[in-house]
Amino acid sequence: MSSEFAWSTEQVELRRTVRAFAAAASPQEEVRRLMASPLGHDPAVWSRLGEELGVLGLAADEEYGGAGDGLVSQAVVIEELGRALVCGPLLGSVILGATALGALNDTAARAELLPGLVEGRTSAALAAPLHRGGFDPAAVTVTATAHQRAASPDGAATAGYTLRGSVPHVLDGAAADLLLVAATIGGADTDDDDDAVGLFAVNAGAAGLIRESAPTMDLTRRQATVSFNDVPARLLAAAPEAAAVLATTAETAAVLLAAEQVGAAQYLLDLSVEYARTRLQFGRPIGSFQAVKHLCADMLVLVEQARSVAYHGAWALDEGTDDPRIAASLAQSVCSKAFTQVAAMTVQVHGGIGFTWEHPAHLYLKRAYTDAALFGSAETHQERLAQLVLDEAGAP
C-alpha cells in the first residue's frame, strides 16, 4: 500500500472517536427526527463536534482555531459523519464556507469569521455557481454595486457594496449565520468574467435578504433560494482573487464530498453483509446464495476503489502532487457512481424491506442521488477529465 494511504496512529484514533460519537449522537431515529424539524439539525451536537471534539476545522490553520492537519484528516472526519448521516451544516460551513475563508488573502477576515465555523458556534453557506469541480463565473446571478462611504479617520474614503439578484439551491442557506456570495461587480470594464467577480460576506440579519427553503429529495440536507434586494455586503476578495478562491473551494469540495460518499457507501456495505449473514431463506443464510455473494463482492470493490480515489484526491490537494482539477473530477466521477450503485445494490440485497420507509436504505439512496448532482454528475466529471487529460495531451 502506498505511503499516501497509510493512516497515522492519530488518524486511526480520530476515525474511532468520530465514529463512536456519530453512532451515539446520530442513530437512525434521531436522523429522522431532525430531518423533520424546522432547523434540520441539533446545534448542541454541532457545537460539540467543534468545541469538544475539535474536528470541524482540522484543515484550518491553528491561528484561526483549527489544527492545521490538512485535508486527509478532515476527510476522515467527513467520511465518518457521512457514514451516520449526521445532520448539520457540513457542506455549507465545513466543506464550502471554511474552505473559501481559509483561501482568502485577507487575514483580518479570516481571523474574524473562521473561528466561529471551526468551533461550531456559527454556520455559513456559499452562494456561488460551482459546477463540474470548478467555479463558473459566467453563471453568477448576483450583481454588486459600489457606494462610496464617508471618509475614515485617516482621511481615506472606502467603498461599500449592495447586492442584487437571486441564487437557487444554496446548501444550508436557509439557516446560515453568514453568507458568502459570488457577485459580478457592476461597471467593471473587462471582457474576462474572472476579472469582474468578487466574493462578498453578508450577515444573516441584513436588510433586503430573503431566504426560502427549497424542497429536496434528501430531507437530511437542506437547500434554499437566497435573494438579495440591495443587501449591504462586505467585499472579502476582489478580482481576480475571488475566482481563484472559488476555484480552490470547488476542487476541495469535490474531494471532501467524495469522502462523505465513501462513508455512506461503507455503511451500506456493512449493513448488507450483516443482513446477508443473518437473513434466512429455505433454511440457509441468503449470503450463501451466489447472486447475493456477487452483489456483496461488487459492493466491496466499488467501496474500496472509491476510498482510494477520494483519499488520493485529499492527499494530492494537500501535497500539490497532482493537478487539482484532475484530482477533483476523478474523485467525483468515481465516488458518485460508486455510492449510487452501492445504494441500489443494498436495496436489492434487502429485498422488499429495503423499499420501506422504516428501513434506512432509502435515506442513503436519496443521499446518493442528491450528492451525485451537487457539484456535477459523474458523467460531467468524466467529460472534464477527458478535456483535461486527453485534449491537452493531444494539443501541439
**105-162 pLDDT, tens digit each:** 999 999 999 999 999 999 999 999 998 778 999 999 999 999 866 444 554 545 689 9
Q: How far is CA 20 from CA 76, 89, 262, in A?
A: 13, 20, 17
Name the CATH superfamily for 127-241: Butyryl-CoA Dehydrogenase, subunit A, domain 2 (2.40.110.10)
Q: Rounded to 5 degrees, what are φ and ψ at 373? A: -105, -10
Closest CA to 273 of 306, 252, 304, 298: 298
Q: Can you tell me the mean pLDDT for 246-265?
A: 97
In the predicted structure, residue 192 carries a pLDDT above the cut 60: no
- The Cα 335–Cα 308 span in angstroms is 10
- The Cα 334–Cα 331 span in angstroms is 6
Q: How far is CA 137 from CA 34, 77, 185, 204, 291, in A?
A: 35, 31, 12, 24, 48
**58-85 pLDDT, tens digit each:** 999 999 988 889 999 999 999 999 999 9
DSSP per residue, 104-158: -S-HHHHHHHHHHHHHTSS-EEEES-EETTEE-GGG--EEEEEEEEEEPTTS-EE
pLDDT of residue 367: 96
pLDDT of residue 320: 87
For the whole model, what pTM was predicted?
A: 0.93
The larger pLDDT score, comparing residue 286 to residue 137, is at 137
- Domain boundaries, given as residue ranges, for the chain: 3-123, 127-241, 244-394
What is the distance of C-alpha 38 from the center of its chain? 21
In the predicted structure, residue 189 carries a pLDDT above the cut 60: no
Q: Which fold has domain 3-123?
A: Butyryl-Coa Dehydrogenase, subunit A; domain 1 (1.10.540)
- The x, y and z cell numbers of residue 387, run together, are 478535456
19-23, 94-98, 281-285, range with the lowest pLDDT? 281-285
Mean pLDDT of the chain: 91
The pLDDT confidence band at residue 187, using thresholds 50, 70 and 90, is low
pLDDT of residue 1: 38
Q: Which fold has domain 244-394?
A: Butyryl-CoA Dehydrogenase, subunit A; domain 3 (1.20.140)
The pLDDT confidence band at residue 322, using thresholds 50, 70 and 90, is confident
Q: Can you tell me the mean pLDDT for 203-228?
A: 96
> Are 188 and 239 a contacting pair, CB within 8 Å?
yes
In the predicted structure, residue 366 carries a pLDDT above the cut 60: yes
